[in-house]
Every structure is written in C-alpha cells, then in structure tokens.
Structure 1
Amino acid sequence: MTMRNWQLRCAELKQRGEYLFKSKLWSDCAFQLGDVTIKAHKLIMAMASPFFTKMFYVEHVNSPVPIYDVRPDVFNILLEYLYSDNLNIESSKDACDLYYAAKRWRLPYIAKECAKYLSEHMTPDNVCHIYQVACEGDDAPLQRACEKIFSTKTMEVLNDGSFLQADLATVVKLFSLDPLNIYNELDLYTAAVKFANQQDKKAGNRALKRLEKDGVMECSTPKKEPSPAKRPRIDNTNGSQGDGKDRSTVSSDMFQDKDKENSPPWTVRSPGQISQNSHETALESTDSDVTRDDKQKEEYRDLLKQIRFFTLTPQEFADCEILSSLLTESEILSLSLNIASKESPAPTPDWFSTTYVPRTQATKEERSRLAAVFRSTIHNFKTIKKYESVPFYLRNCAWTLMTIPTEANLEDKDNIVVAVTCFHDGNIQEWMQHSKVKVKFCTHKTVPKHLQKVGLKLSEPYVDYGMWVTKFDREELFNPEYGFIDDFNAVTYKVYVNTVPKSSDSPM
C-alpha cells in the first residue's frame, strides 16, 4: 500500500529508496525467479552496475527477465542493498550465493561485504564450500583465510560431512598445505579414501540416472531433481564467464540455465555449492569397502601425491588396513621398502611424494593438551546407519565420537546412543578415571536444561577401551521445536573433554 505524501516522511535518500523497494511504486521492470516475480526500477539497477545499464538501456531486454540460479530471498537481499545500502546477510549460505551473484553482475562492493562476512563466519563445516566460491571468484584474500582454517583445524574439517562434498581441487589444495593440524599422514590418507568412496558413489548415481533417463533401466527409487550443472568460471575483470566467449552483448539468455527443463528454476547454483540433494548420501557409505581397479585408482593420483608417505614409520604404514583402497599392490610394496630404508633401491612411481621431511605440524602441543572442545557436523542424521568421526587428539591419544541414529539399528528404539572413545596404549591411566566428557547438540533455540550439555560416563563394560557413553531421548532430539536437526537433516555437536577436572582452564 502506498502512503500519501510518503516523501515527507523520508528525510534521507536511502529512506526514499527503501520505500520504493518495499512498495514497488513506479516499478518499470521485473525479474522472474521460478514462480516468484520481483519488481524493480531500471534506473536504480542501472545506477548500481554497468551490467544492468547495458541490459536495460543498451540491449533493452524485455521484462520479466528470467533468472534460474538465484533464490528469491537472496535476490531480495541484493536489491535491498542497491536501494538502501542495508545488507542483511543471515547465513554463510546466503553470503556465498550473494557473493556469486555480485561477481556475476559486477557489483564489487557487495562481493566485498560478502567476503568480509564469510571471513568472519568461517568454520570447519563451511570452509570447503567457501574456498570453492573464493576460487571461482579469484578472491585471493578469501582463499588465504580458508587455508588458515585448513591448516589450524584440519581434523575438524576432515571430520565434517561437508568435506566429502567438496570438489577434488579443494581437497588437493588442503592436502598440499604445510602446516596441517594432523597426527600423521595416515589421517590424510584415511580422509582421501572416504572422499574417493563418496565420489565413486556419486558417479555411480549419475550413471544410474543416465540409464534411467535413456530408458535402459527402470527407476526403482523415487525420482529426485537432477544435480545442477557446474558453472563456468567467473571472470571479474570484464564481466565474462570465463569460457572464452564474448559476453559484451547482454540478453535475457544470459540468465537462463541451459538445462532449465531438467531442473527447478529457483535452485541455487553457486560455484562449489553443496546442494540440498548432496545431503542424500549417507556418511556410512564412505566407510564401506569399495573395490577399484588400477585405472580407477589413478583418478586420485593428484590427491595422493600430496601425502608424505615416507614420513611414516614402517609400523604405522603396516598397521593401515585400507592401503589397497587407493594404492596398487606394486605401489604398496614400493612404499613399504622406501619407508623401511631411505637407501632402498626400489623404484617409486613419478607421482609419489619422495620427501622424508615431516610436514610442519602445529599439533605437537595440541596433541598433548589436557582439555579441549571439538565441534563437527553429522549430515543425513535421520537416515545414516552409523557415524564415527575422524580422530581428534588429547594426551597424545586419538579420540572419536560414535553414534547410531537410525532406529532400525537400535535395540533401545527410544534412545540414541552416543559414545566418545579414547584409543590409548592399553594401560588404563589414572587420568582416565577422573576425566570428564560432555556432548552438546547445538541449536539456536531454547531447550530444556537437561539437553543443553550432557555428561558421558565411563562405561563399565568398556573401561579397557576408554569409552564414555550416554543416551539421548529420540523424540527430544528429533523434536523440531528444539531445532537440533536443521533443514538439511544435519546435526552439529560439540565434544567437551577435560582430563584434569580440577584444572582452572577447564572447558567444561
């Protein structure tokens, strides 16, 4: 509704712009985002970017202009900033989508604000996504901020489900950094196997969908929307899309998805984005035994050559039970001989990292720390059969969190069991008897006190294993009013471990 004499109530220019944005008074153009039509003003749009100047005052593109790769709420955030200088970003997901749109439509000041927001809200569970976006936008400062998280919180990144959805280039970059916060190089190899298993499963799903589309096979599962096509690289120097083609002419075709008949027009398709459909894959699949021939293993050579196998001890290498997942028999033999002796005459493949210099690690003190807090995310929480985290370290011991959320896998169907295990040297230490372990499932909503931070008890049957166990009421954990499980079926948790309860700097 338009207010009478509204101009008299707006003392500043941005107040007038905000009124036009909300009321759509005198709007003379529109954008079509799926089922949503958003009205705007050509003059405001053209004042903001030469991209829109060319669109409306040179090419005279007809309204409504179809946009197939930006969500309406994100587009409204962008418009609000153009009209009033108010930038209301509420999540890193929105910031990534807005960053991509700003880079594409030549709005550098918005891209800068988005990059600042992402740098300030970067965590292990979103850093892989942000890094991919930063690479697409050629944003070196944002890339360096991501690399700092990779280096200092490596195990938390590897432990998070979002790592499995990253692209190969991001994982290769992570593995190439020095320092990395890992115990030894087998942490990287284990993560590489899980990543490769996930990639193989995704490739198998895509092949199955192609067969179903071609009518070769009948679909035995409910059909889902196909994954969005990968975007061309952004070139922010001239507004082109980096595919070598001239983008000097603006037309509505630039906004259309080439595969629009096969995907919903409002689907978010930012570079490197983890789509909602990506969370369909259960993490337990990454731990399954995947058989690959030698040719398939070669696909991950760029990843494996970043791993410094020669820094391992012979015992560490021999104790690894998943070597054959990505290495051939001849490669395992060659590595074994060269790890055993630097003077070994055994030939090594060209792709091997031949350095015997250990990676600079910021973990020596952290591995021996007495108390710490660890945070990670479990994706596909309602359907995953079993979850076990990548190890974190205290008192020079590896610790993991394990849970079995799926109801079918529990004898006690009313509760969800959560266990934190310390893999010690076999000798029960006094500090274990007095250690305190707590788990918190994170939420922004108000929850009952007994769910805010739950203590785990050292389980009598598993004392020798150093296992702390507790139970969560299934109905309470799954209750949408408490907000433990987000819209993407993911749960974020924190593990609080204090091996010296009386310590003044206890995180408990």
Structure 2
Amino acid sequence: MLPEPHDWQLQYKDLKPRVAHLLQSGLWSDCSFLVGSEVVPGHKLMLSLASPVFEAMFYGTIAETNNQLIPVTDIQPKAFKALLEYIYTDKLNVSCVVNACGLYYGAKKYMLPHLMKKCLLYILSSLSPNNVCCVYEFTKVFEVHGLLKTCKQMIQVNASEVLKNSNFEEVELSTVLEVFSMERLRVSSELELFAAVDRRTRTLSEDGDQKIRNVLGKIRFLTLTPQQFVEGPAKSPLFTKDEVLSVLTNIVSSNSHLPLPDGFSACRVPRSLLAGSAEGMLNMEEDCWRRVLNYVPLRDIILSERVSRGWQKMVLVYLSSISIGILPSWALWRHVPDVRWLEVDSSSLELCCRKLGASLEVACCASEQDLKTIAEQCPNLKQDTEMEYDEARSEATFRYTVQKFRSLEGPVLSPPCYVRNLPWKIRVMPRQALDSDLLKRKTLGFFLKCNEKNESSSWSCNAMAELRLISHKPDCEPFFMKMEVLFCSKKNGWGFPDFMKWDDVLDPERGYIKDDAITVEVHVTAQAPHGVSLDWFRRAAS
C-alpha cells in the first residue's frame, strides 16, 4: 500500500468522497475480508453503521476478537466490493443483471434492504428476453413473487426470442420444463420449442437424458402437420423409429391404433396468447358485469378496450366508478383500502395512465420518473409514495387461518413472513397430552418455525414471540403465550404442545372457532442472526 499524501483530506470538499478515499486506499482499516483469492480491507465502524449483521459480527456478544482475515466464501469479489462501495458512498455500481443478482444476494445476507430495493429496480429496468430466464431462476430462489410474475409474462410474450437466444441453453432443465408447461406462448409453432431442446442436447451431460424426455413430453407434437414433423423432429436422434411412427400416425389420425410414446402430450390445441371473446359480457345486466369485472385484472380490462365499441363504453363506465391504484408489477405492497390495484411495468405505464386519466387516484411507485409520468396524465392523483422493502425489519405481526379445523389430523404451516431476512412460519397441529389424572386429552399445538430450509449448520437467531389465538367475539381478548428462545439449525421450531385444550378451542362461548376455522397470530421480535448461509444460490452471484 502506497503512503498517503500529506493533508489528503484537503483534496475533497464533501464527506462522501473522503469516506470513499478510505475504502479505496484502505487507510485506517481495522478489518479485512478474504473474498475468493482477494483481500478486501474495511472499517468496522462504517460497516456496522449500515448493517446489523456487521454490528453483531464486530460489536455483538459473539464479536470477532482477533484480527485474522474474515472469510467470505459465498459472494464473488466483484459483488462484495460493490456492496462495500454502496455502504461507504450510497452508489450502486453494477454493470449487468447477473452482477445485480449477485449484489442482491449480498445485500440480503448482510440485511441492507435499501440496496436490495435498488438491485431489484435495476433488474426490473434491465429485464429483456436475453436475460429473463436467468432473472426467473433468481426470483424463484429469493421468492420475489411480483418480479416472478413479470418474468413469466415476458417469457410468454417474447417466447420466440427467448427460445432462440443462446442463454436459453444455459438455464436449468427444471426452468425449461416450466416454460414448456406454460399454456400460452407466442410461438409460430411447436417446432420452435423442439429446436430449443435439440440445441440443448448438444451441451447435455449423461444424467440429463431422462430430464430431456420429460421436456419433450411437454411439446405438443400433435399440433404439427405431417410434413412439419417429418422434415423436423422425425430426423432427430432424440426419437427412435417406433416413436417417429407412433407420433406421425397420431398426427394424421386422432383414432390411431398406435399409442403415443409414454409421457408425450396428447394435446392438439396450439398455444395462444389470445383471450376469449368479451361480447357475451355486453348482454349482461350492469350489476352482473360490474361484479364480473371486479375479478378481472385491471391490466387485462384496459388493454382489451378495443375489442368493440360496446365493450369500450362498458369499460370506461366501470373505470370511472372505482378507485384505482397503480404500482410496479413486481411489488408486493398493498395498504390502501377500497382500491383496485393496477400492476404495470415501466414500458406500459404511460399507456395505462393515458387511458385511466382522471380515474387514477393512488400511485405507489418506485421511481420519481414513474410518478412524473403518472402526474402528467392523472389530475386526480391523491397519494404517491415510494416503495419500501422491509424483509430486514426486526419485528412483525402475521396471522394464519386454519380451515376445516375440526377434522384437522396433522400439522399445517402458514406461508412465510420475513423478519431479519429469515422466513418465519406458524405451525399448528393436534396433540395428545396427559392431564392431572394421567389421562390423555387432545390439545392444540402452536409453534413458531424459523429458517427451516437453510443448509447452514451454524446459524442462530435470538427472538421473543407472542403466540395468540384470536377470538371472533369483539369484546374478547386473544388468548396468548410468550416465549424468548434461541432458534438455530438444531432447533428451528419452538412453541407450546398444549397451547389450549381442544375442547376449549371448539367452545362456541369463547369465540375462537367460526365457520370451522380458527385464526392464530404471532408477533415476533428478532435480533440480528448469526451464521446465516445463502449458499444454495451461488450461480446468480458468480
């Protein structure tokens, strides 16, 4: 390391460039990370100011006490350096979607929700048919459901371009299987799907033969003409002569005496993106079609305006009578009551706003540019706000309704709620316990599970939780029990096996059960976790 010039501070007018200088030069560094084969210096105070994970690492009860190199094995050097650059300077330094995925991985690990948000915005703005499959796999792993939906839509609409792109040959076969299972794909024929599979077999390992057969089973060969099949798939080594004959005879005749090869699709309906006719709606009473339109996505209603003049008039009447909110298609946020949400991407935002006009009242957006676009077209806009992600929050309250409770025989799990970037789930089950007379009685078991699928064997998270059984009677308080425990890889579930007697839960006077369903609730407050591993997603970080 070169010696620092004298009075180097005088070179910079503001604080941020001075802090950036410390990062770039390593001056006054008091910790170092081994990332791959590179040593990256850092400053404990700066890192701890930004991340509760670094705070726990350097100043917590199990803080590092020596000055040895801190190994970082699950993040690539480029992504780790970009993470530190954001901590020190608030600048996002990524050059492609893959780098943004790797940086998101690091931001999630070190609990930097604002950086996670910026990475998602970059990924969304850079989404294209060239990288959509990579992003699709990324969203599945990190459960970014709104962005997952956007990826599916892009794959469907741009299927031909996606299938012909060289990057499609590198995606997981499980992803190929999901794409080929989609009911709607904009392709000229199933030959495009087969061509993509045929190219894929050239780079396939020996253990992929059965997976390729599963993929072939999703191709609708019976929608091809005999000539198309003979000049294309029939020449491929993926088929035996008997299979060629079997498929060909079934193409020619639906009453063929030869059965299709095992697992092959018998569907004769071509894939299509065309929606059904809306003319039947025009003959309904107004109250009827209003009720129907309440269940139709607003985006589909708006983009179908030109079906006919009658339909267009009906749509405009409907839109003028409801409160509408607009937000990015990858967002999961819903907080304004009595508002129908319109999910759009940036490319169609202006078009939708122009059609909505004065009907739009609420907008939840992720960028100032989007808000400007909306404001220009929508004079009645009452509320606008910037999207925030809170998976790194320290506490949360979430509920779960258990249906068909009286006939419940085994455990049921709620969807995950994220606190400290860890998935938390409610677990409810019937249990048998001994009463004071040593007789068995049925009880309600109520548990809280944390991070159950993480592969790390050394993670831990200390948490306080209040487990509640909600009464449907307005004047009754919920029944609750509290606990303060340490969740870890060896014990990722804590709770109460005899939370309440089963008969007491069913007692109508207590009001816990309604329509054969009960509602349970958990309020959890968690400290920063230790040793959490995200090793199961390395490819996007590389």
Bigger radius of gyration, 1 or 2? 2
TM-score by length of 2: 0.45
Name the structure, 1 or 2, with higher relative contact order (CA <8 Å, separation 6+): 1
**Which structure shows the bigger proportion of residues in strand conformation?**
2
TM-score by length of 1: 0.47
